[in-house]
A and B are shown apart, each in its own frame.
Chain A
Amino acid sequence: MNKEFVKFDKVDKSYDGKVLVVKDLQLDIEEGEFVTMLGPSGSGKTTCLMMLAGFETPTHGEIYLDGKAISSIPPHKRGIGMVFQNYALFPHMTVYENLAFPLRVRKIPKDEADKKIDKALSMVSLQGFAERMPGQLSGGQQQRVAVARSLVFDPQLVLMDEPLGALDKNLRESMQYEIKHIHESIGVTVVYVTHDQSEALTMSNRIAVFNDGKVQQLSSPDELYEKPVNSFVAEFIGENNTFAGEISDISGGKCKVKVANTEILANPISVKGKGEKTKISLRPERALINPSDKMDNIHSGKIKEIIYHGDHTRVRINVLGNDQFILKVPNSSANMDIKLGKDIKIGWNSDDARALDPK
């Protein structure tokens, strides 16, 4: 497998010559991989996708596709499939004609084209819809047609620009699995852009978190969630409890952080020495109530708010001066004594408390 199937090499992009939308982007995508570009709006992820598709040119640097520099190749010669945010189905053509478009411009004979179209439609379970107009289809069906159209000419690379943004929640989730399965069954390389982190976590092999024109972290979903490398990623992916403090001691792979006159034991990730400011990040599910003595951080706090979620209860606690500390308590008979205003003990392992940059 080609490790550098898609390669962004020191790519800069500016629209107005004043602000860099993408800064010195370095990104390698492996063949057959599902990579998601995730980030808040304006972080440069869509710009990257558009540069890859050929609708924007890099201001500096070069993009390689399968070893070839592609900056000077116009979009229609790149052979990249693309699914657009609003599907971009041709409204005056039937589903069949929409799918036939990329085959016709490639001069593929009709009988062969028909086979490919049948295959693509069955892949998205839309057999029998060939003669419908896009306007007669529901949002989800249109989305599937757009996916089928981007795959029908067997591209090596498919780009998807927030393709599920316009669908309702249930449909979005089922489409996520569907796209994931299609990717697994045909082994095409997919670059997917979204601002929805749960979508990114479910679908991708690797996720590139964008912020401020830069890739903040590029890693697998679990690593991204468990081991964020900086405060932005920690805050952006999933829920996060934070403590701002100052390093008072650092030794043996552990550090002590002074927070509100108490010291917390934490895992030093991006801190080097004493006196440095830091922000500790801790996932809510890693903090437990009624902790066992083995945990090296045990503190007490006052319950400020209780929100019932059925399978679990979210409890907001004031601990060490942070009254936004969230706990996720599983719904079990052992945890029935949670009452508003009560003081409880909570604890966590120092490994899970990651001391990151102060931001």
Chain B
Amino acid sequence: MSSETKQILTTDGIPLEVSLKKAERRNKIKAFLLVVPLLFFIIITYVFPIGDMLMRSVDDKMVTEMLPKTFKAMEKWDGKELPEEEVFAAFHSDFIKLVEEKREGKLSTQLNYTKNGFKSIIKKLRRKSKSFEEGNYKEQIMAVHKRWANVEYWQAIKRRAPAYTGQKYLKGIDMFKNENGEIVSVPEDRRIHRVLWLRTLEIAFFVTVFCFLMAYPIAHLLATLPMKYSNLLMICVLLPFWTSLLVRTASWMILLQQQGLVNDFFVGIGLVADDNRPEMMFNKTGSYVAMTQILLPFMVLPLYSVMKTISPSLMRAGKSLGGTPFVAFWKVYFPLTIPGIGAGCLLVFILAIGYYITPALVGGASGTLISNQIAFHMKSTLDWSFASAMGLMLLTGVLAIYWVYNKLVGIDNIKLG
């Protein structure tokens, strides 16, 4: 074709492409200016924090900076036998400097994370180091405490050499790097995170299932009822949505507690004995009930928006062609609602997996989720890097689910509203 080589010109002789770009440029700039505030907002409130979280979760520069000479000397050390004099001398030199800057306390805290027992021997070393003589530091340091002569403690220091570490992530799944650098699980009685991860998945999964089972008929009613009734029903669905999350959770506490309304009712109709009231709160049941109710609208709305577009004549066609009402529903109606089911389930699952306030209030010990653990490390232990690591693991998990979901259902098949 010649059109590739021949340039089309406007009447003024300017190439058409140039002219088009010129004409469009103004609008493009205008459109861009409109999104600039939002773009900045997202960068500041989302991209930066996530990036910072990522950095924090792997950052281990503190020790690296405190013991620069030591780690340099340790490069040649094979890590099996006690290191040579050279390493001890370097360590001494780094240590003296830290003592001068009064930062040896921080070092002991950090090293103690890696191996218990550093605190006391560093304290002792600081006292004794004032009377050290020049030369032969190996002998002198080893004489301070017998642990300084134990190769395991030197191995522990060496493990802190890299500026970046994945140990917080290992801790998140109850694993750690042992003395020999192998990745192993912590003893069974000290594993807490794996249980939490599994419970989070389990609760999110079942909440999604419950929401789906309840929302499907509601959404169908909403889509098929005459306008005046469906509007009322829609308000009923949305009303909890407009109520504060805390108020709703608190009202579940009133309902579900052992002396609460639901239990009173059960006792009243003779379903349970007064002295044998079931515990429906501060356990998984509480989390299930409250989370399902709170997340229900997120399932109803996408389902409704999809069902609204399905012409009632399709079901009629299915029936008139000989399908029983069930066949017409299963073969015709249901497949057409899959985009809504996909959107609703994804939305509810992702929200549930990171749910925080409700499980914290009604979940008790057996109903808390991984997000509660993250909050615990943010607020109580102040181990932010661990909290960041778990937060990122959660984010990665959600992205992984999204990816799997895309493979299974196809993201094009999702309709959010």
* A82 CA / B317 CA spacing, docked (Å): 7
* Chain A positions 5 through 22: 1 when the CB is less than 8 Å from some CB of chain B, otherwise 0: 000000000000000000
Q: B282 to nearest A CB, angstroms?
A: 46
Q: Contact: B323 with A105, CB < 8 Å?
A: yes
- 8 Å CB contacts to A: which residues of B51-104? none
Q: How far is B324's CA from A82's CA once the two chains are assembled, in angstroms?
A: 16
The residues in A between 62 and 86 inclusive whose CB is less than 8 angstroms from any CB of B are: 74-82, 84-86
Residues on the A chain within 8 Å of B318, using CB: 90, 101
Question: In the complex the two chains form, is A85's CB within 8 Å of B323's CB?
Answer: no
Give the residues in chain B near A74, CB-CB below 8 Å: 319, 325
Q: Name A76's contact: one of B311, B313, B325, B331 (CB within 8 Å).
A: B325
Which residue of the partner chain, among A54, A88, A106, contacts B317 with CB atoms under 8 Å? Answer: A88
Considering the complex, which residues of chain B in the window 301-348 have a beta carbon less than 8 Å from any beta carbon of chain A? 311, 313-314, 316-325, 327-328, 331-332, 335-336
Q: Does A92 contact B (CB under 8 A)?
A: yes
Q: How far is the CB of B190 from chain A (nearest CB, A)?
A: 52
Q: Choose among A55, A77, A90, A153 the residue with the greatest number of B CB atoms under 10 Å from its CB.
A: A90
Q: Which of A55, A86, A101 contacts B321 (CB 8 A)?
A: A101
Number of residues from B at the complex interface, CB < 8 A: 19
A208-246: CB near B (< 8 Å → 1, else 0) gives 000000000000000000000000000000000000000
Q: Please give me the residue from chain B that is nearest to A89 by CB atom.
A: B317
- Complex Cα spacing A151 to B322, Å: 12
Chain B residues contacting A80 (CB-CB under 8 Å) are 320
Confirm or deny: A42 has a beta carbon within 8 angstroms of a beta carbon on chain B: no
Task: Determine the distance from Cα of A54 to Cα of B314 in the docked complex, in whole angstroms.
Answer: 15
Chain B residues lying within 8 Å of A206, measured Cβ to Cβ, are: none
Does A91 lie within 8 Å of B322, measured CB to CB? no
Question: Does any Cβ of B come within 8 Å of A149's Cβ?
Answer: yes
- Give, as a whole number of angstroms, the nearest-CB distance from B321 to chain A: 4
- Residues in A whose Cβ lies below 8 Å from that of B331: 90, 101
- The reply to whether B320 and A86 contact each other, CB–CB distance below 8 Å, is no
Assess whether A86 is in contact with B323, with CB atoms less than 8 Å apart: no
State which of B313, B316, B317, B322 has its C-beta within 8 Å of the C-beta of A105: B322
Q: Is the CB–CB distance between A85 and B316 below 8 Å?
A: no
* A191, chain B: closest CB distance, angstroms: 13
Could you tell me the distance between the alpha carbons of A4 and B319 in the complex, rounded to whole angstroms? 25
Known A-B contacts A76-B328, A90-B332, A92-B335; A55 and B316 likewise in contact (beta carbons under 8 Å): yes
Bound together, the chains give a CA A179 to CA B123 distance in angstroms of 100
**Assembly CA distance A189 to B319 (angstroms):** 20
State whether the Cβ of A123 lies closer than 8 Å to any Cβ in chain B. Answer: no
Instruction: List the A side residues contacting B314 at CB < 8 Å.
Output: 88, 90
Given A86-B311, A105-B327, is A153 in contact with B322 using a C-beta cutoff of 8 Å? yes
Check B335 against A75 for contact (C-beta < 8 Å).
no
Given A76-B328, A90-B332, A105-B327, verify A153-B321 contact (CB < 8 Å).
yes
Q: Is the CB of B317 within 8 A of A76?
A: no
In the complex, A53 has a CB within 8 A of chain B: yes
Q: Which residues of B contact A (CB under 8 A)?
A: 311, 313-314, 316-325, 327-328, 331-332, 335-336
12 A–B contacts, CB within 8 A, in A order: A75-B316, A75-B320, A76-B319, A78-B320, A82-B321, A90-B317, A101-B321, A102-B321, A102-B322, A105-B321, A105-B322, A153-B321
Given contacts A88-B311, A88-B317, A90-B318, 14 further A-B contacts (CB under 8 A): A54-B319, A75-B319, A75-B320, A76-B325, A76-B328, A85-B313, A88-B314, A92-B336, A101-B331, A105-B321, A105-B323, A105-B324, A153-B321, A153-B322
3 cross-chain pairs, A with B, having the tightest CB-CB distances, nearest first: A88-B317, A102-B321, A88-B313
